[in-house]
A and B are shown apart, each in its own frame.
Chain A
């Protein structure tokens, strides 16, 4: 018989265990760390989570995470409104912004097409992209910056194919990024070079 935690502790452990990269053991350690000592730190964490959940939502234009709708980038008067860079997730927007080379807009897909994970074109923010394109005929270029993985590549090809009849220029960032690596972990030099070498697809 294994030792049974009280319901509140068990609930906390299970909540931690649902987080990515957290196993049962780490979840226990975190739960006891929180309950052990400084209760005010733990409550501050709880408040931060609650506040973020309440105020952060998706930008109705680009689907990036934001507290104000539309987001900073979509509202900015200095950004180039003729270009949209398509990325897999909000972390990729942050990575692209770090290189300062790009002054256009973004569109965040929140995933890539992957039949094995039951993710089809309808399950990523593609519909929002096409509605956006229909309403904004100033857009001249779509830059496909999905990760150079099998699924990222397939998603880029799929979008390029859908865009073809529209005549909008479609480019794919070059593969300076090592295969299999995620965009958010790429070093800035690599990312910058890949970005400059984007190509027609």
Chain B
């Protein structure tokens, strides 16, 4: 996949920006807070309509404006010219709601789920460290975004999940407030409760005669929930297994086999990664809901499910979040992102665009050169405050590099005669430089 142009209106600190983008590597440099990251953010936004920095669209609108628009044109690996446009408008009236409209090839996309998997970019950003250091919700989001981008049904399941869990939680609260919680509620359901057709001499009030115990409604929501949860968990378990395999491969590569990474999905008790069927998961989860029903009513919320789960990242047998050094955590993040890249490529058959937000400066030389190997063959966009961070050797090296690439007929023909330095900085495609100052992007003519 290759980006051809990007068009921004009122996005972050950009009034208006239009960039035509040739194939190659694109370096955006400049001081902090000038808009380098905003550019990568806008590109990434087109993959899943969520920024890598915030879930709040209103933060993306330029100060004092009432809407933003991001539009990109790209070519798929199959040679199709496509475009994605996102528009967001603040609420027009007080109490009104904001609107977001998405267009794919200039046609409006009816549901958010339908924009998943249209455009593929992967971002490497300082915020990624939160996947290792942050709370479980960071890791769940990493997994959810990854799966949604290859599987629209998964994204719809997630949307349904939140709807059903909202309904169930509200019902739990109602049951508690209405005093239906009497310790026996959990035992009463349709199978032994009264129904509309039971004759009863004692003549209860008509409403009770028709409707069984209010907790009976909970059975229905539990079943709906279990059905959706089983679909979500099955996919999460499957993808986690692949993620673990690829991430452990890439961390071995990055650290010359010094580190061992293992990733396990941590769900409710009894959930096992070893190839459970969806039906089994559904049954187990339903049992779990029934067992924790009294407790759930007491708390007014659902105590187990995909919204409580976690990915356990273990480095050399111990939990990485607690016991790994900063450097080790960086290696884990990098290998997770490389695993994401591998998975996405494998599942979509498209070569994703890579967005590297100020990551080169954080890496030591060996990991940098390993990363350079990985990004070969991708269109790359990267930001830095100083281009010397990207190319620490002198600039002649880079031009030599380009020459070498041209002579050897491109990236596919990597010559073994190249010296260490050439391999280390293996830039084989054309490099374009841009200076970013206060929301303007100036292409530079360096070579």
Contacts and interface: CB of A to CB of B under 8 A. Distances in A.
Answer yes or no: are A and B bound together in one complex.
yes
A179 B156 contact: yes
B212 A154 contact: no
Contact of A126 (B160, B210, B219): B210
Contacts of A115: 167-168, 170-171, 174, 217, 221
Contacts of A180: 111
Contacts of B171: 115
Given A121-B211, A126-B210, A161 B93 contact: no
A37 B38 CA distance: 52
Contacts of B96: 23
Nearest to A158: B220
Contact of B223 (A120, A133, A157): A157
A161 B168 CA distance: 18
B116 to A, nearest CB: 15
A194 to B, nearest CB: 19
Given A115-B174, A127-B207, A127-B210, A120 B195 contact: no
B220 A130 contact: no
Contacts of B197: 134, 165-166
B167 A150 contact: yes
Contacts of A127: 206-207, 210
A67 interface: no
Contacts of B221: 115, 154
A130 B219 contact: no
A127 B206 CA distance: 9
B224 A153 contact: yes
A contact face: mostly helix, strand, loop, or mixed: helix
Interface in B321-354: none
B163 A150 contact: yes
A154 B198 contact: no
B190 A25 contact: no
A136 B214 CA distance: 27
B359 interface: no
B54 interface: no
B110 to A, nearest CB: 9
B170 A120 contact: no
B388 interface: no
B371 interface: no
B93 A25 contact: yes
A133 B93 CA distance: 48
A155 to B, nearest CB: 8
Contacts of B164: 150
A154 B214 CA distance: 14
B410 interface: no
B216 interface: yes
Nearest to B221: A154
Interface string B134-173: 0000000000000000000000100010011011101100
Interface string A145-177: 000001101100110011111100000000000
Interface residues of A, number: 29
Nearest to A153: B224
B196 interface: yes
B202 interface: no
B163 A23 contact: no
Given A23-B96, A154-B167, A179-B156, A122 B207 contact: yes
Contacts of B111: 180
A163 B223 CA distance: 17
A164 to B, nearest CB: 7
A114 B167 contact: yes
Contacts of B217: 113, 115, 120-121, 158
Nearest to B209: A130
A24 interface: yes
B195 A162 contact: yes
A116 interface: yes
B223 A130 contact: no
B92 interface: yes
A150 B160 contact: yes
B161 to A, nearest CB: 10
B203 to A, nearest CB: 15
Interface in A121-140: 121-122, 126-127, 130, 133-134
A190 to B, nearest CB: 15
Interface in B102-127: 111
Contact of B216 (A122, A134, A161): A161
B196 A162 contact: yes
A158 B167 CA distance: 14
A180 B96 CA distance: 22
B198 A165 contact: yes
B92 A23 contact: yes
B210 A23 contact: no
A162 B93 contact: no
Contacts of B223: 157
Contact of A161 (B92, B214, B220): B220
B169 to A, nearest CB: 8
B207 A164 contact: no
Given A113-B217, A166-B197, 6 more contacts: A115-B174, A116-B167, A133-B196, A150-B160, A162-B211, A165-B198
Q: Please name the 3 residue pairs, one residue from A and one from B, whose CB atoms are nearest each other, closest first.
A: A115-B170, A115-B171, A130-B196
